[in-house]
């Protein structure tokens, strides 16, 4: 830590706060918040969510005996205070850096991270599994899941609550309601929770404490007293959770440590065989005025000035791929009223906020519900509309059955804009877009494209507009383009046709995606050594440009494919084609360059690709190895 703190300096693990007074806990919370703001200003990361749960985090670790009592955080955006209190405060400035702390919970990082997360809505399911395991093992450890109002809108959370209520298993669910996920929550659940908060049951500290203690004490005696009856009738908003088998309490002030401790203590000690839900109202960005005023902009931040709140801007003058997608789709939507935009709780992350501002009636944010997003798009497609489902590659994984069953089998023209394809840097393996090529290119009738630069992305969007008889997808990475001029929206591609970038001899390098720039660097370096390479931008993983592949297979000594995806994708389809056409029997050498068979930890994206063996130096060495050249290129550090 860079600063000296009166209370936080005394805390290395949660056991160190057990003897604090409640007044001291309040000062500790202030110091945790200050340290978190200071650290994230240096590292970047998720800020607003963590600031909103500081008091809750302190109270949970004060009341419960972690790590024996199991604390499960949903998503993990909000766990920086948790990391500070659980033996990692001296490493908090390594957040999201190479060999540093993960930005999410990670089991291999700490025993206090009970369950790894990165995607939302998994906490209640995993907590129930742990609680049932405790029951089967005759353990009395508590299990607590913390889930946000955005994450609880997802279908998986309801499946888990349904199961938990029916199983009569003791567990505690904390509903952290800050009326904010990454963007504003949407849908009926948001309205439902707002109704609770606008009712008469948002009590003061004294009222809440008396009511909860009284209700709990009477609830489990032989006769339920008036306090419980009042609680049950007053909490009209809790009816849904009650009907699912939960004992609902709340809402309570999530920034009032006295209230939190009273409620959590009673929830821990009460002898109740069944799940308990505690509805906690918090403010995202609490304690940092810039984050309080603009919770969405301070959900995830770059490095920033603590005093001014000004975030560090990208040094690139090239437009971000996401913005290129959004602006291109906007131009098409001005011409075509059938174009619909769909996002799953990521309007700003996917650029759909730009679309929604211009066409509010034609943009739908369905919440954290990727499965629904895909089938919703399929329904629109049956009626002649042109839905664009803009979903991160890593999140599209969650809807694969819907892609197969509801879209592909029916050959419906849903267009998938797959953002964050490939390795994504600081968010690490939970957010890496490694598997979409495999998942989609194995499906009959799908058109699967990957942009090698921002101009190609525009052409692929243009092309997708006219694909009206089958589903299509185009993938593009996080970050900025390379600075090429953008074509008009009338410039389209021929389906299934690649392009030859550079002609050469001996080796043909088939690129699929944004490794094209690295391929060009490798080619230039090898030209200096007398080795000329044919470079192809494949553009399509499905359908393959079979004529072009056939031609280069017969004209070259070797073919090497390269892609930002795992085994089973573009390279595997090329290998299958070569084998089926007996082209590998003519002394043709074939190699594929893919993401290595592992989950790659968070780091700078360039270093991640170097580690994965997909940088220019690795491409050079692969070509030389394929040719059995005696030239050795030493890898640079």
Please give the full DSSP string across 173-241, using - where no structure is assigned.
EEEEE-S-SSS---SHHHHHHHHHHHSTT---HHHHHHHHHHHHHHHTSSS--HHHHHHHHH-GGGHHH
C-alpha distances (whole Å) from 348 to each of 19, 138, 139, 285, 462 are 44, 47, 45, 18, 22
Distance CA 398, CA 119 (A): 9
* DSSP letters spanning 252-296: EETT-HHHHHHHHHHHHHS--SSEEEEEEE--TTTT-HHHHH-TT
C-alpha distances (whole Å) from 573 to each of 56, 545, 561, 580 are 51, 11, 10, 11
| % of residues, the chain, pLDDT over 70 | 89
Distance CA 392, CA 322 (A): 11
Q: Quote the longest CA-to-CA distance of the chain.
A: 91
Distance CA 600, CA 318 (A): 27
**What does the DSSP 8-state code read for residue 157?**
H
Q: Please indicate, yes or no, whether the overall pTM of this predicted structure exceeds 0.75.
A: yes
**What does the DSSP 8-state code read for residue 306?**
T
Classify residue 428 as exposed, middle or buried by CB count within 10 Å of its CB (0-12, 13-18, 19+).
buried
Tokens matching residue 532: 């000329």
Q: How far is CA 508 from the centre of its chain?
A: 36
Question: Please, which pLDDT band fits residue 193 given cuts at 50, 70 and 90?
Answer: low
What pLDDT, on the 0 to 100 scale, is given for residue 631? 45
What pLDDT, on the 0 to 100 scale, is given for residue 189? 60
Nearest alpha carbon to residue 104 among 131, 90, 123: 123
Active site residue 31: no
Active site residue 470: no
| 80-105: average pLDDT | 94
**Cβ atoms of 50 and 286 closer than 8 Å:** no
Percent helix, strand and coil across the chain, each to the nearest 5? 45, 15, 40
Q: Is the pLDDT of residue 419 over 80?
A: yes
Q: Is the pLDDT of residue 637 over 60?
A: no
Distance CA 341, CA 334 (A): 13
What pLDDT, on the 0 to 100 scale, is given for residue 201? 40
Nearest alpha carbon to residue 103 among 180, 47, 33: 47
| 446-453: average pLDDT | 98
What pLDDT, on the 0 to 100 scale, is given for residue 221? 44
Distance CA 26, CA 588 (A): 70
- Computed over every residue of the chain, the mean pLDDT equals 89
What pLDDT, on the 0 to 100 scale, is given for residue 150? 86
**Cβ atoms of 306 and 51 closer than 8 Å:** no
Nearest alpha carbon to residue 434 among 608, 623, 618, 622: 608
**What does the DSSP 8-state code read for residue 314?**
P
Tokens matching residue 474: 């185009």
What pLDDT, on the 0 to 100 scale, is given for residue 195? 57
SS3 154: coil
Q: Is the pLDDT of residue 112 over 90?
A: yes
∠ CA 390-393-395, rounded to 5°: 85
Distance CA 96, CA 93 (A): 9
SS3 92: helix
Lowest mean pLDDT among 178-182, 281-285, 393-397: 178-182
Distance CA 374, CA 439 (A): 15
Superfamily of chain region 8-298: Thiamin diphosphate (ThDP)-binding fold, Pyr/PP domains (3.40.50.970)
State residue 204 phi and psi, 5-degree precision: -70, 170
Q: Is the pLDDT of residue 292 over 90?
A: no
Distance CA 396, CA 373 (A): 10
Distance CA 433, CA 238 (A): 38
Q: Which residue has the higher pLDDT, 185 or 461?
A: 461
Q: How many CB atoms lie within 10 A of CB 233?
A: 10
Question: Please, which pLDDT band fits residue 322 given cuts at 50, 70 and 90?
Answer: very high
Q: Give the domain ranges of the chain.
A: 8-298, 321-475, 499-626
Close Cβ partners of 326 (under 8 Å, ≥ 6 residues apart): 350, 351, 352, 354, 355
| 67-88: average pLDDT | 95
Question: Please, which pLDDT band fits residue 230 given cuts at 50, 70 and 90?
Answer: very low
Q: Is the pLDDT of residue 575 over 70?
A: yes
Q: Is the pLDDT of residue 442 over 80?
A: yes
SS3 468: coil
Going by their DSSP bridges, the two strands 533-537 and 507-512 should be labelled as parallel
Q: Is the pLDDT of residue 554 over 90?
A: yes
What pLDDT, on the 0 to 100 scale, is given for residue 295? 64
Distance CA 380, CA 394 (A): 24
Tokens matching residue 137: 């093992």
Q: Which of 83, 88, 96, 284 is catalytic?
A: 284
Q: How many CB atoms lie within 10 A of CB 490?
A: 6
Distance CA 368, CA 122 (A): 12
Q: Which residue has the higher pLDDT, 479 or 196?
A: 479
Tokens matching residue 81: 């205070």
Same fold, 321-475 and 499-626: yes
Residue 500 β-bridge partners: 536
User: Which CATH number does 499-626 carry?
Assistant: 3.40.50.920
Q: Which residue has the higher pLDDT, 250 or 422?
A: 422
| 420-425: average pLDDT | 94
Distance CA 427, CA 394 (A): 11
Q: How many CB atoms lie within 10 A of CB 585?
A: 9
Q: How many CB atoms lie within 10 A of CB 460?
A: 26
Q: No. of H helices and E strands in the chain?
A: 25, 19
State residue 155 phi and psi, 5-degree precision: -60, -35
Question: Please, which pLDDT band fits residue 210 given cuts at 50, 70 and 90?
Answer: low
User: Which CATH number does 321-475 carry?
Assistant: 3.40.50.970
**What does the DSSP 8-state code read for residue 14?**
G
| 359-384: average pLDDT | 96
What pLDDT, on the 0 to 100 scale, is given for residue 282? 93
Q: The tokens 């707002």 sit on which residue?
A: 194
Alpha-helical runs (H) found in 528-612: 546-555, 570-580, 605-612
- pLDDT tens-digit readout, 296-309: 677 778 888 888 88
Q: Which of 55, 228, 370, 456 is catalytic?
A: 370
Lowest mean pLDDT among 53-67, 127-141, 298-312, 343-357: 298-312
Tokens matching residue 51: 């600031």
Nearest alpha carbon to residue 524 among 536, 532, 514: 532
Active site residue 284: yes
What pLDDT, on the 0 to 100 scale, is given for residue 439? 97
């Amino acid at each position: 830590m860079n600063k000296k703190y009166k209370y936080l300096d005394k805390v290395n693990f949660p056991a160190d706060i057990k003897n604090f007074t409640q007044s001291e806990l309040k000062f500790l919370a202030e110091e945790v918040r200050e340290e978190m703001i200071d650290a994230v200003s240096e590292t970047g990361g998720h800020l607003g969510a963590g600031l909103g749960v500081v008091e809750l985090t302190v109270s949970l670790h004060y009341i419960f005996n972690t790590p024996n009592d199991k604390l499960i955080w949903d998503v993990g955006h909000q766990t920086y205070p948790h990391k500070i209190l659980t033996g990692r405060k001296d490493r908090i400035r390594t957040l999201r850096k190479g060999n540093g702390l993960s930005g999410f919970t990670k089991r291999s990082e700490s025993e206090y991270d009970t369950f790894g997360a990165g995607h939302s809505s998994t906490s209640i399911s995993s907590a129930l599994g742990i609680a049932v395991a405790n029951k089967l093992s005759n353990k009395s450890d508590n299990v607590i899941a913390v889930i946000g109002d955005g994450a609880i809108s997802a279908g998986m959370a309801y499946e888990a609550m349904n199961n938990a209520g029916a199983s009569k298993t003791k567990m505690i669910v904390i509903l952290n309601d800050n009326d904010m996920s990454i963007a504003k929550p949407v849908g009926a659940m948001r309205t439902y929770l707002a109704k609770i908060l606008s009712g008469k049951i948002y009590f003061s500290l004294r009222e809440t404490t008396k009511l909860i203690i009284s209700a709990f004490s009477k609830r489990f005696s032989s006769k339920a007293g008036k306090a419980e009856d009042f609680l049950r009738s007053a909490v009209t908003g809790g009816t849904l959770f009650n009907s699912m088998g939960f004992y609902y309490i709340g809402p309570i002030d999530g920034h009032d440590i006295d209230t939190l401790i009273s409620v959590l203590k009673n929830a821990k000690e009460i002898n109740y065989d069944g799940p308990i839900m505690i509805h906690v109202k918090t403010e995202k960005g609490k304690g940092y005025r810039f984050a309080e005023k603009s919770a969405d902009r301070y959900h995830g931040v770059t490095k920033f000035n603590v005093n001014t709140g000004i975030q560090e801007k990208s040094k690139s003058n090239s437009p971000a791929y996401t913005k290129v997608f959004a602006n291109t789709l906007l131009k098409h939507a001005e011409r075509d009223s059938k174009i619909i935009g769909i996002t799953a709780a990521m309007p700003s992350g996917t650029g759909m906020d730009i679309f929604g501002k211009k066409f509010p009636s034609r943009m739908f944010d369905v919440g954290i519900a990727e499965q629904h997003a895909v089938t919703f798009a399929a329904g629109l497609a049956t009626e002649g509309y042109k839905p664009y489902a803009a979903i991160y590659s890593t999140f599209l994984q969650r809807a694969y059955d819907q892609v197969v069953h509801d879209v592909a089998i029916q050959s419906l023209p849903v267009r998938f804009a797959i953002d964050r394809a490939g390795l994504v840097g600081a968010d690490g393996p939970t957010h890496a877009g490694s598997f979409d090529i495999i998942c989609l290119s194995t499906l009959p009738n799908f058109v699967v494209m990957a942009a090698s630069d921002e101009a190609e992305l525009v052409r692929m969007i243009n092309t997708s507009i006219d694909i009206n008889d089958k589903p299509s997808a185009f993938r593009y990475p996080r970050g900025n383009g390379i600075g090429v001029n953008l074509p008009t929206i009338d410039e389209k591609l021929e389906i299934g046709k690649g392009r030859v970038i550079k002609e050469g001899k001996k080796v043909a390098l088939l690129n699929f995606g944004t490794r094209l720039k690295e391929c060009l660097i490798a080619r230039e370096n090898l030209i200096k050594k007398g080795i000329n390479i044919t470079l192809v931008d494949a553009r399509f993983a499905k359908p393959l440009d079979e004529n072009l592949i056939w031609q280069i297979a017969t004209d070259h000594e070797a073919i090497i494919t390269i892609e930002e995806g795992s085994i089973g994708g573009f390279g595997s389809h090329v290998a299958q084609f070569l084998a089926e056409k007996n082209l590998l029997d003519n002394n043709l050498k074939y190699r594929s360059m893919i993401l290595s068979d592992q989950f790659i930890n968070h780091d700078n994206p360039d270093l991640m690709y170097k580690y994965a063996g997909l940088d220019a130096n690795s491409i050079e060495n692969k070509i030389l190895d394929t040719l059995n050249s005696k030239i050795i290129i030493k890898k640079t550090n």
